[in-house]
Every structure is written in C-alpha cells, then in structure tokens.
Structure 1
Amino acid sequence: MRAPSPHNTQPWRFVVDGPRIEVWLDRSRVLTVADPARREARLSCGAAVYNLVLMLRSNGYGAALRILPDPAEYDLLAVVRFDGNVHPAPADRRLAEAIFRRHTNRRPFSTQPVSTVARVRLRSAALAEGGLLEFLDTSSRYAKVAALVRRAEAEQATDAAFQAESARWTGREPESSDGVPTVAFGPQPDLPGALPLRASHQNPTIPSRSFEQDALVAVVLTPDHGTAADVRAGLVLQRVLLTATADGLATSFVSQPFETKATRGPLLELFRGIGQPHTLLRIGHGLPTRMTARRPATDVTTVSATPDAPMGGPSSGVSGGGHSTEHVSERHHADQDSVVHHG
C-alpha cells in the first residue's frame, strides 16, 4: 500500500489464495486522460509487487514471482507465491524499513550534490532488478528532456480534460486516504528553473521559494517494452526509491512528458538504443515532508483461502499492512511463463 502512484490513485487490488497472492490492476483508479494506456498504473502496481516480495523476504519467507502469468487475464499483472524459508539479508531489512519512510518530496532540494557513492548504489539497485538508471545531469539529453517537460506542462495547462482529472485527485483534505492533499504540495518557485515542476502540485498558501536551478534527473529504463516491462520497471523503480530513502535522499517524479502524446514519442526516441524509459526522477537532498495517506489494506484485499505460509522461518521484526477476512469463491488460473525466485 505504500507504493507510489500517480496522484496517489493506488490502482491495485490483491487476491490471497492460500500461498498465492495475485496482484491485479484496478481500472477504476486509472487516470484515463493522463494515462490512457495504463502504463503508469502498471508501473505503480509493479512497485507494490516489489514491496510485497521485499516484506516477505525480510520476514523470513522466500517468494516466487511470476509477471503476467495468465495472458487471458489482462489485468492480472503478477502472482507471488510463498517459496519456503529464507534468512533475511541485512540489505533487505534496510530497504524494508525504508518502505514506511519513502514519500514524494515536492519541495525544494538543497544545493548539496548527490555523492558518487550514492549514485553507484542507485544504479546498482536498478541493475539488481534487471533495469537501468541513467543520470542526465552531465548528459546532452538533459536540455532536451527539460524542453519536453516544459512543452508537456504547457499543453496540460490548457487541456480542460486533464485539468479536470487532476482536480479530482488533488487538493484533498490531509486525512484523505487517497489522492494528494494540499499540505503535501510544494511552494511556487520564485524563479523558473531548467526543469519545471508540476503546477497542479503547488500550494499558493506557502511563500514562494527558490528551487534548484539544475535539478539532478535520472531516468528508469528497461531493455524491453510492453505490458510486462511496465510491471518489471515498477520493481526497478521501487528498489531505486527505497535505496534513495535509505541513503537519506529525497525523490519526486517528473511525469509530464509521458502524459502528453506530443512529447511521449520524442522522449522515447531520445533513449533509443539505451532502453525503454518508464519514468523520470528528481533526486537530491531535502527536508522531510508530509507523507500521503493510503487506504487500508482490507479495502483492496480479498482472501479466498487462508494463507498457508511456511512457519518458523527467521524474521527481521519488520512488519506492516494487514489483510481482509472476506471469503469469496475459489478461483484458479494456469501458471505460465518463467518464475523468478526471490530469497
């Protein structure tokens, strides 16, 4: 439930069937204007899958992961199955603890640079999940990406349908269990930077402040593209975000150029030969900000058979979340494709 999602839409649902946990896309929570192909929603579900696998592993359970096990069920994105006991690795415990601290920081970052050591760790985190993380601050692509962000932001500012969709999910009250509350917004920049921030996530009641003029931007890529790649990219993304959080770094998303037709194609073309770009991240040092709330796990979880996880395994003491006790008729899906074992 603590995974990131566009406008905190939380577009996922879970079905627990004994030792098997299905992760489904919830189409009712997809941004149909900003994300008509449901790409960002699948990315978010992939991040939720990573959290799930990581928490199992950190509490002493192995996990076998299948991405898109049943092509006949297009919205069934992944299946996680208990796979014996494991000894939790210190690195997993460190990342698991970061789940409950990770949040999007929409406020100014300091001028303190992100160290070379931290960059190496972030790149290694992406590689560990089969993805890539490219920093653009020293790349000729930086200016081109910034120009595409500005173009997308300008188009969205005059798109009535986009503005209406954004308004439905932003400006919520602080206690709202979904959407983005106003208290989580950042101030208006007093000077325009090279990278414009999303105007819909600005709080005019906060005094304007200076943002970093040349923000550090990184792109999350996978070597392939398509529906399965979107989910796998979510695993890559979440491991990078948790690694950043554990290292004391702040992050936020730069999604505008993925959300307009005029900029999406040129953005993909910029990275041709490197990989498929899935999201852009702003990374730096910033003060902690308010975390957005989440719906209770019981609201999105159906239990069709009581989990029968292996017992007696080592545990890190990291815990969180919950489950529902609703019982529904048992369903069966054929397991296909290769299995990735975590643990």
Structure 2
Amino acid sequence: MTMRKLDTRTVTSLIADATTAPSMHNAQPWRFRFVTGERLLLLRADLGRAMPRSDPGNRALHIGCGAALFNLRVAAVHAGLSPRVRLLPDADDPQSLAAVHLADATGTGPGEDDLERLYAAIRERHTSRYPFEEKDVPEDTRETLRAAAAQEGAELLFAGPWHVETVLELVRDAESRDALDPASREDLDRWTRLGPEADIARDGVPEYAFGPHQRDGRAPLRDFAGRRPVADRGTTSFESSPHLALLSTRADTPVDWLRAGQALERVLLEATSAGLAGSLTSHPLESADLRTLARDPVTGRGHVQMVLRLGYGPWGPATPRRPVRDVLDVS
C-alpha cells in the first residue's frame, strides 16, 4: 500500500504542538529533523540550552524533551498518523534522543484513543504560579493521574501530610543553598526575561509568568525574580496545604528520564482535562543529597524525577515558544 506523502505544513504543525511542552526554565532544549523519504522525525538534545549549574547530568533536559515527544505522539495521532517511537536510537550519539516513524494509521492502535482524547489539552496546559483553592483533588481524579503515569512506565505518588512537610523542607533547604551561593543562580538568571525583554522573548520565563510573591501559604514555587524588582507583581496568600505528587521511575538512566518526561506530560494533560491547574518544581531534585530524601521511604520506589503541585485555580499565562523554523530541519 502506498503511503501518503507528508507535506511540510503537516510536519510543521506537529512540531508546533510538540514544543508547547514544559521544560526547565522554559529553555526548550530540543531540535527536530524530518527525513522526508523515510517519514522519520528525529528528536535531538540542544546542548546549547543545557544548564551546567542546575542540571549537570542533563536529566532535566531529557525530561523536557520527553514531554515534547509525548506531545508529538498526541499530535500525530490527531493528524491520522501512527507514531512508532524508538528511544535513544543511536548508541554512539548521546544527543540523539528519539526516532519517530510516522506511519499511516490503519485503525486505532493500542492506547491511541487515549492520545487523541488528550489533544485539546495540549494548547490549554500552562504552568500556573498562582494560588490554588484549599480544595481536595477527588480520589477518582488521582487514580486517573496515577494510571496516566503508569502507562508511560512511571509512578505517580500523592504525598501524605508528613511527606508534604518533608518536601517543603527540602525546597526551603534548596532555596537557602542558593542564597548562600549566588553563582547557583546563573542558570536561572540566564533564562528569566525582565522588562521589555519579556515582551519579545521566544524562550525562558518572562516576568508576567512569575506569579505573585507569596505573602503566606506554603506552595513550593521557585522565586524567579530573586532580589530583582518586578513591576506590578503583587503579593498574595497561597494555599496552606498544597497537593503535591512525586513522579518517579524505577531506574535513573537517560531512557528513564525520557520516559519520565512522557509520563509527566501525559499526567499534565490529563490534569488539564480534569480542570486542574499545575506547576512543577525540580528545585529540591537538583542536589543529589536532597533528591534522595524526597522519596517516600515507606511507599516510594525508584528515583524521583519531578515534583508536581496540582489544584483548582487560575491557569497560568502562555509562555513564549521558539518559532518552528528555529527548531526543525527538513531533509
């Protein structure tokens, strides 16, 4: 059977959807190449956007690229394609993260109904650094999110009260370390956009997405402003009992990081579909000793890859994205 040709417009649309994914400090550390004759999309790490201080092993970089890969899978199914994914397809090239063959769909494949259902949430999902309501997340919604992580080979654990306290303490510890070592803010300062720069940014976290300063409450949010002034930011109260979930994988290799990124994005899209807002923090995971302590010693297994804060509240603003022409090559 002859496969239909994929035109540049279709591929461009797929990449535009893929790159709405979250990444550490919105650095967008990915590049794509489309091999036309093979209908093959190659995902590569953009090491020029790596963070040597905060992410020396490129774990967070892989997670961000994994999230973009999941969006690509969702967008491909929505476009009537069947994405066949190989992770780390070239053992001699560590920047080669995934190869996605875009076959014509010949019917609904395993799990593809779920992917199609999530497509609308791709453009709705935004990180929210705003207060959430003091309202519980229903157990059936929690179970949906746990199942979403499991579908991608990860585990999502909702932290109990004492575990929440532990994670919040680790966040405070990470913040204290940053305060004592100004050089630790090099990556963050590089990827924040203040003043007029925020209005024309194509990447990074612009000041309009910082959210208000916390007057009280205990939401684990990184203060992107630091000691730098931000006009009209405001100060408000956040939730006193934040709902935290920890995403973990059994092992801690680049393949696991890519799986964690796909699991993270599946969870976030499911959460968005359920009316939940969310934010992420990797702050206590950027130091090896703190990261080990983040795991629940009773029920937690494996390696914590991300801490999610979920709840009911305003969805954050869309943050800037690089034009597709800057991240996609066609051959």
Instruction: Give TM-score, length-normalised by structure 2.
Output: 0.86
In structure 2, the residue matched to 1:148 is: 170
Identity in percent: 36
**In structure 2, distance between residues paired with 1:211 and 1:28:** 35
Aligned-pair Cα RMSD in Å: 1.9
In structure 2, the residue matched to 1:160 is: 182
> Superposition pairs for residues 16-55 of structure 1, below 5 Å?
16-18=34-36, 19-55=39-75
**In structure 1, distance between residues paired with 2:297 and 2:48:** 32
**In structure 1, distance between residues paired with 2:120 and 2:256:** 26
The answer to whether the Cα contact below 8 Å between 2:163 and 2:296 also exists between their aligned partners in 1 is no
Give structure 1 stretches of 5+ with no counterpart: 305-343
Q: Matched residue of 1:281: which SS?
A: strand
**Counterpart among 136, 143, 157 of residue 120 in structure 1:** 143
CA-to-partner distance for each residue in 1:24-77, whole Å, 9 max, x for gaps? Answer: 011100111111110000000001111111111121111110011111011101
In structure 2, the residue matched to 1:237 is: 264
**Cα drift, residue 270 of structure 1:** 4.4
In structure 2, the residue matched to 1:174 is: 199
In structure 2, relative to structure 1, the CA distance for the partners of 1:156 and 1:126 (3 Å cut) is: same
In structure 1, the residue matched to 2:324 is: 297
Deviates more, 1:6-15 or 1:93-102: 93-102
In structure 2, the residue matched to 1:248 is: 275
Aligned length: 302
Letter in 1 for 2:165: A
In structure 1, the residue matched to 2:222 is: 198
The answer to whether the Cα contact below 8 Å between 1:11 and 1:27 also exists between their aligned partners in 2 is yes
**In structure 2, distance between residues paired with 1:204 and 1:130:** 43
Letter in 1 for 2:128: N
The answer to whether the Cα contact below 8 Å between 1:220 and 1:233 also exists between their aligned partners in 2 is yes
**Counterpart among 289, 302, 315 of residue 288 in structure 1:** 315
More RCO (CA 8 Å, sep 6+)? 1
**In structure 2, distance between residues paired with 1:242 and 1:26:** 24
Letter in 1 for 2:250: P
In structure 2, the residue matched to 1:8 is: 26
Deviates more, 1:82-91 or 1:295-304: 82-91
**In structure 2, distance between residues paired with 1:297 and 1:25:** 15
The answer to whether the Cα contact below 8 Å between 2:73 and 2:115 also exists between their aligned partners in 1 is no
In structure 2, relative to structure 1, the CA distance for the partners of 1:272 and 1:134 (3 Å cut) is: closer
In structure 2, the residue matched to 1:307 is: none
**Counterpart among 228, 240, 253 of residue 226 in structure 1:** 253
CA-to-partner distance for each residue in 1:139-186, whole Å, 9 max, x for gaps? Answer: 542222221111011112232222232112113413311011101111
**Counterpart among 150, 156, 160 of residue 133 in structure 1:** 156
In structure 2, relative to structure 1, the CA distance for the partners of 1:109 and 1:192 (3 Å cut) is: closer
Which is richer in helix?
A: 2
